[in-house]
Structure 1
Amino acid sequence: MIVVTGAGGTTGAAVVRALRDRERPVRALVRTPRPAPGPGTEVVAADLTDTAAVEPLLAGAEALYLIWPNFSPGEAEGAAALFAAARRAGVPRVVYHSVLRPQARAMPHHAAKDRAEEVLDAAGVAGWRVLQPCAYSANLDAGLAEAARTGVLRSAWGLTRGQSFVDLRDVAEAAAVLLTEDGLDGGTFEAAGPQPLTAPEVADALAARVGRPVRAVDVPPGRPPADEPYAARCLRLMLVHYRAHGFTGSPRVLEALLGRPARPFGDHLAGLDLL
C-alpha cells in the first residue's frame, strides 16, 4: 500500500490515478472526507499538521508520497515531523514533492521546500527520493479559457521570460515511477517541460488552437497590503521572480524517468475545451 498526502488536490489526485494505472493499492490522505475514486483506493481524512494522527496511517505502507498544501506555512517543520513519523512507522521509501530550484529562496515557498529537502537527507529514512516539478501547464487553464473568449492572454509573469510548463500527467507518472521502482534512492529528479515558453508564445499557441488572434498583455502584480497573508506573499514574490528570471529547466531528467519524450504544451492545449 502506498500513502499519498494531499490526495484531494490537483497533484495528489493525479498521483493517485497514476498509481491506480499501475494497479497499486493507495491510501489517499485528504483534508475533508470524500468517496474513494475507485477500487484499490482507501480515502482517509487527516490533518497533516497532526503528526500523532497521521503516523498510524503510515503503518504497513511500502511508500509515502508527501505533498504539503501549496502556499501553506510551516512546510519545512511539518515535513520534518512527517519524515520522522515515516521513519518510526518503518516506511521504507519516502518521496517528497518539492519544486524546481528550491534554492531560489527569494520565493518563501521554495525556501521552505529547500529546508525540507535538507531535513529529508538527514531524516534516517531507509530510501528517499525528491521530485522537483516546474510550473504545470494546467496552471494556465483559467487564463487560457478567458483568452480564448476575449482574445487577450493576461500574463502576471511578464512578456519576455520563459517557463518550461510541464504536463501534470507526466509529473504524476514520474511520481509513480519514484514510488514503485528500485534503484532511485537518494536521487533528486527535476520535472520540466520540453518547451520554455514566453507569454506571447503561449498566446500564439492558443491562437493556433482556437483559430483566431490572441495577444498577450502584461499584468504586473499590485502593491501588497500591510497585512499581506502568507499565501498571497508567496504568490507575489514568485511572480516577481518569474518576471525577472523566468522559470525554465531541462526535460532530460523527466524523460529519463518516463522512458519517453515529455509531453509538449500543445498536447495539453489539445485536451482543453476552448471552442
Structure 2
Amino acid sequence: MAGLPPKPTVLVTGAGGRTGSIVYKKLKERSDQFTAKGLVRTPESKDKIGGAEDVYVGDIRDADSIAPAIQGIDALIILTSAVPKMKPGFDPSKGERPEFYFEEGCFPEQVDWIGQKNQIDAAKAAGVKQVVLVGSMGGTNLNHPLANHLRGG
C-alpha cells in the first residue's frame, strides 16, 4: 500500500486501570489503524491486560522508568490517577459514611501532578506529536464536593 502513512503508535499510560484498560483494548482491536502500547505500574497489571511485549512496567513518579515506553510513539494518552482506598471497617448497614485514604507515595500531588508532568516532559523530549490528558473533575479545587468527601468532611 504505497503512499499510505504509517499507523500511529499510541501509548496508553494507566493501561492497567479501569479506563486505561478499556482504551488500551480498544486500540488493540483497531490494529489496522493503530499500534497500541501500554504502561502499567506492576507486573500483575501487565498480566491482567494480557502481558504482551507492548506493555511496559514503569513508575510515572520516576521519569527515567517511563522513558523506554515513550520512545518511538506518536501519541500519548494519559490515564493515570491517584486512587483513594476505602478505610476498613465501613458498615453501610449502620448508616456509616465511608472514609478514604491514599497509600504512601500515591497522593494526588505525587501521581496527578508530578507523574503527569513527568509523562508530558518525556513526551515532549521524545518528540511526541499529540498528548491526551484525561483528568478528574474538580481535581484542583480543594472546596469541590468530591475533594471534601475524600477528606471525610
Instruction: Name the TM-score class by shorter chain.
Output: 0.5 to 0.7
* Mapped contact 2:12–2:36 kept (Cα < 8 A): yes
2: CA distance, partners of 1:20 / 1:61 = 15
Identity of aligned residues (%): 30
| Counterparts of residues 1-275 of structure 1 (less than 5 Å) | 1-23=9-31, 24-33=34-43, 34-35=46-47, 37=49, 42-71=54-83, 72-73=106-107, 74=110, 75-102=112-139, 104-107=141-144, 235-236=150-151
Q: Structure 1, unaligned stretches of length 5 or more?
A: 111-232, 241-275
The one-character-per-residue Cα deviations of 1:92-147 (angstroms, maximum 9, x if unpaired) are 1111111234453325997xxxxxxxxxxxxxxxxxxxxxxxxxxxxxxxxxxxxx
Of Structure 1 and Structure 2, the greater helix share is in: 1
Q: Structure 2, unaligned stretches of length 5 or more?
A: 1-8, 84-105
In structure 2, do the counterparts of structure 1 residues 106 and 43 end up closer, same or farther at CA, with 3 Å as the change threshold? same
- Does the residue aligned with 1:65 lie in a helix, a strand or coil? strand
Shift of 1:19: 1.3
User: Which residue type is aligned with residue 53 of structure 1?
Assistant: S
User: Which residue type is aligned with residue 97 of structure 1?
Assistant: V
* Mapped contact 1:35–1:43 kept (Cα < 8 A): no
Q: How large is the Cα RMSD of the aligned pairs?
A: 3.0
* Mapped contact 1:7–1:16 kept (Cα < 8 A): yes
TM-score (norm 1): 0.37
- For 2:4, the equivalent position in structure 1 comes to none
TM-score (norm 2): 0.62
2: CA distance, partners of 1:8 / 1:47 = 13
